[in-house]
Amino acid sequence: MSDIKNEIEKRRTFAIISHPDAGKTTLTEKLLLYGGAINLAGSVKGKATARHAVSDWMEIEKERGISVTSSVLQFSYNGKCVNILDTPGHQDFSEDTYRTLMAADSAVMVIDASKGVEAQTRKLFKVCGMRGIPVFTFINKMDRDANDTFDLADEIEKELGIAVCPVNWPIGSGKGFKGVYDRNERAVFLYSDTEKGTKEGHVEKISIDDEAALKSAIGEEAFEKLSEELELLDGAGADFDQAQVDVGKLSPMFFGSALTNFGVEMFLNYFLKMTKTPAPRTSDAGVIDPVEEDFSAFVFKIQANMNKAHRDRVAFMRICSGKFEASREVYHVQGNRTMRLSQPQQMMAESRHVVDEAYAGDIIGVFDPGIFSIGDTVCAPGKSFAYEGIPTFAPEHFARVRQMDTMKRKQFVKGINQIAQEGAIQIFQELSSGMEEVIVGVVGVLQFEVLQYRLENEYNVEIKLERLPYEHIRWIENPESVDIEHITGTSDMKKITDLKGRPLLLFINAWSPGMVLERNEGLSLSEFARN
């Protein structure tokens, strides 16, 4: 038992979240550099010949220079085993990010120093707040002209409703960015330019009390400004309180530049000290302690065709308790079957290696022949409990999908079903037609483009998308007690069914669902599907 406990206590599992272009993927790569997981950082926005970000493995990501699906990355650093869940920043892929946050024990929020809190940051932060997980703030791009440092801190507190405690403090920004002051060590860390893509760079440490050396290094004006800011900070800033950090009420705040490595290693060292081991998880049998000997995990993501050569499908599982051993049987709760998890592996984006064992806090990918769904629980044989479900978000955009070549019906049905099982899109059908008329619903419109791209490139199926005007969806909660065929509707209403055959209603106008409820006594509607 002690060996399992020791291994679990080394684990740190966190998600990196941000608004698009805040530098999240760059920060992820620099963390991997320090962990020795990669030797050269790629650039998402480099020329066609340049390497792509290691966490962006899907072809469309490499072409568009954006992350559209979460990646799982693992490395070791200073005796800790770190699992990073790199998430898409673009709001059209936020559903994937929400699910990924369910698998994380903490989150790192990356904010662009010149833009502050942006729309997507607010949305993602709310999810962290709902879960009460620790949030660490990394103010990035200090090598560019930045907003006032105190204004940034105030904005986070007001916009996101969380107190912040700066752990380090920047000296200047843009061309005048000299380095950072470490409040804990009472020392200034000055950086020389690092060669792009590497972690090598000279760091000079000067005590805040060595006034002469500091003035010589950063100049008298910068020294005076730093002294004034630190006096203000000590008087007005929130004190560090680990207990408040642990429950997501206080966010430790760091300044730096992921591109030039300024402050990245300092952030990583503090982050690993301030984060805790894997947390207990709630199930329908009560709270499950991660150091329990019995293995358990839940599926938070399914991804098809990660390996083009094998056309495979991988179910990503967050291990919640105990030790996973590849040779042992597990019980799939929702499928009510005992099985061995096939080809268990850990990931470095698209590259992977087979694992014989893994522990609570780790993320493993297993071959999925089509039996797993997002939110499923697996546990030790003889046990039967389910972890709390992962929320499904109602789609807000709809389109009718038609295949261009009817001879490729089989590939089309297979492709669209597999992509739907990943959770990025939802498939619906007209009440009267089979798979002849397919309607696709998505949370963000860019998902339509991803669907079209993937069907063409992964399944060799060309489709035509016809956007539909519907924006509101309601599941009929009591189909057994209403006559669906004769529901008195509104002129903007459409009847459809989902993949499980459950009847739904689509509406163009926000007020229409209320009118339909008024006109049909006994009808019950819901914005979410019942699992």
Q: Which of 98-102, 259-263, 303-307, 492-496 has the highest mean pLDDT?
A: 492-496
Confidence of residue 199 (pLDDT cuts 50, 70, 90): low
Q: Check pLDDT > 80 for residue 93.
A: no
Among the ranges given (7-11, 65-69, 214-218, 387-391), the one the predictor scored with the smallest mean pLDDT: 65-69
Cβ pair 248, 134 in contact under 8 A: yes
CA 258 to chain centre: 19
Query: Is the Cβ–Cβ distance between 442 and 458 less than 8 Å?
Result: no
The residue among 319 and 192 whose pLDDT is bigger is: 319
- Asked if residue 392 has pLDDT above 80, the reply is no
What is the rounded average pLDDT of the residues 461-465? Answer: 90
State the average pLDDT for the chain. Answer: 81
Q: In terms of DSSP H, where are the helices of 247-286?
A: 264-274
CATH 3.30.70.3280 assigned to domain 397-526? The reply is yes
Place of tokens 């057994």: 480
Where do the CATH 2.40.30.10 domains begin and end in the chain? 281-379
Q: In whole angstroms, how far apart are CA 255 and each of 79, 164, 260, 286, 303?
A: 25, 12, 12, 40, 34
Residue 297 pLDDT > 90, yes or no? yes
Q: Give the DSSP H or E segment for 44.
A: none
pLDDT tens digits along 125-178: 777 777 788 999 999 999 888 889 999 999 988 888 889 999 999 998 888 888
Mean pLDDT, residues 480-503 taken together: 88
Beta strand 179-182 pairing with 168-171: antiparallel
* Over residues 5-10, mean pLDDT: 93
Higher-pLDDT residue of 436 and 183 is 183
Is the domain 281-379 a CATH 2.40.30.10 member? yes
pLDDT confidence of residue 88 = 56
Question: Is the Cβ–Cβ distance between 318 and 298 less than 8 Å?
Answer: yes
What's residue 138's pLDDT? Answer: 95
**Residue 354: predicted pLDDT:** 84
Strand partners for 379: 296, 331
Residue partners of 511: CB distance under 8 A and separation at least 6: none
**CATH code given to domain 10-72+81-274:** 3.40.50.300
* pLDDT at position 531: 53
For residue 80, which amino acid is it? Answer: K
**CATH 3.30.70.3280 placement within the chain:** 397-526
pLDDT of residue 194: 54
pTM of the model: 0.75
Query: Which residue did the predictor score with more confidence, 312 or 116?
Result: 116
What per-residue confidence (pLDDT) applies to 349?
44
* pLDDT at position 7: 93
Question: What local confidence, expressed as pLDDT, does residue 233 receive?
Answer: 87
In tens, the pLDDT along 98-134 reads 777 888 999 999 999 988 887 667 767 777 777 788 9
pLDDT at 325 over 90: yes
Q: Is 253 exposed, middle or buried (0-12, 13-18, 19+ CB in 10 A)?
A: buried
269 vs 265: CA distance, rounded Å: 6
pLDDT at 197 over 70: no
Helix axes 409-421, 446-459, angle to 10 degrees: 130
Candidates 11, 28, 95, 9; CA nearest to 318 is: 11
DSSP-H helix ranges across 396-511: 409-421, 446-459
Q: Is a pLDDT exceeding 60 seen at residue 403? A: yes
What span, in angstroms and rounded, lies between the C-alpha atoms of 490 and 468? 17
Specify the domain boundaries for CATH 3.40.50.300 within the chain: 10-72+81-274
What is the per-residue pLDDT for 434? Answer: 53
